[in-house]
Amino acid sequence: MRRLTVPAIRDRKRDGVTAEPIVMLTAYTARQAQLLDAHCDLLLVGDSLGQVIYGLPSSVPVTVEMMENHAAAVVRGSYHSVVVVDLPFGSYEGSPEQAFATAARLLKASGATAIKLEGGAAMAETVAFLVQRGIPVMGHVGLTPQAVNVLGGYGPRGRSEAEAAKIVGDAKALDAAGAFAIVLEGVVEPLGLAVTQAVSCPTIGIGASARCDGQVLVTDDMVGMFERVPRFVKRYENVAAIIAAAAQNYAEEVRTRSFPGPDQTYQPK
Ligand code: KIV
Ligand code: NA
């Protein structure tokens, strides 16, 4: 099976209608990518790996090197989904040239297909600069976690009319600049619908209601690996409990000398 392409994702939405919703999940490791790949259209190497993998307090300290290594692992573990890599905080906001250098470095090092960056109208010039030079860009508006120090937290955005209008304007600016899709995070349902209707490219929601053209979740949240999760997460499994139970059984068997048993022990021929 050939890998999906960015134009194929972009064209899932035609004349404002998306017949088949777009499915995206985060992936940070090769094995995780292998397990998710066949079920997804897009795998996002999100800078949420800062919290999820590295135990950092936010995505702000995440480095380009971290993104490079995890993106390469996800590309090696997948062959179907389009792999999108987040540009981490501080690696692209300075200028379109800075963004291009970081994006090119990430795509060359990993073999990923596209990048994602946070921000609306202020980033439109950068989005156009990248797209015109061969780098597909996914936008990200609404709650933008890299701006946590400006926003003051991770609560939903666009509850006032003025902020809602700004978010619609941000999404339109990214759409006009050539973004192939836009992540819409942490907004009330009417705004999820308004943004989705305002742009020609697909919207991919996270905490943005069912009115978007697709959905994304952080995989570790969705499978119950990460302990603190926002309200918009649905837990499909409780993998943390499975791992903790396995560790408890193993520890007990080591301490009672019942592991390793005959099946796990080499003998001379
Ligand atoms: O970093 C991330 O995981 C993301 C998604 C939540 C959209 O940006
Ligand atoms: Na992110």
Radius of gyration of the chain (CA): 20
ipTM exceeding 0.90, yes/no: yes
The tokens describing 21, both together, are 């919703």
The per-residue pLDDT for range 189-241, each reduced to its tens digit, is: 999 999 999 999 999 999 999 999 999 999 999 999 987 788 999 999 999 99
Q: What's the CA gap between 71 and 85, in Å, rounded?
A: 7
**Residue 86 annotated as lining a ligand binding site:** yes
Is the Cβ atom of 42 under 6 angstroms away from ligand 1?
A: no
Closest atom of ligand 1 relative to the 217 alpha carbon: 6
Is the Cβ atom of 50 under 6 angstroms away from ligand 1?
A: no
Give the DSSP H or E segment for 26.
strand 22-26
Q: Are 147 and 113 in contact (CB under 8 A)?
A: no
The tokens describing 173, both together, are 């600016």
- Selecting among 20, 97, 125, 185, the annotated active-site residue is 185
The superfamily CATH assigns to domain 6-239 is: Phosphoenolpyruvate-binding domains (3.20.20.60)
The per-residue pLDDT for range 40-82, each reduced to its tens digit, is: 999 999 999 999 999 999 999 999 999 999 999 999 999 999 9
What are the residue boundaries of the structural domains of the chain, listed by start? Answer: 6-239
Is the Cβ atom of 218 under 6 angstroms away from ligand 1?
A: yes
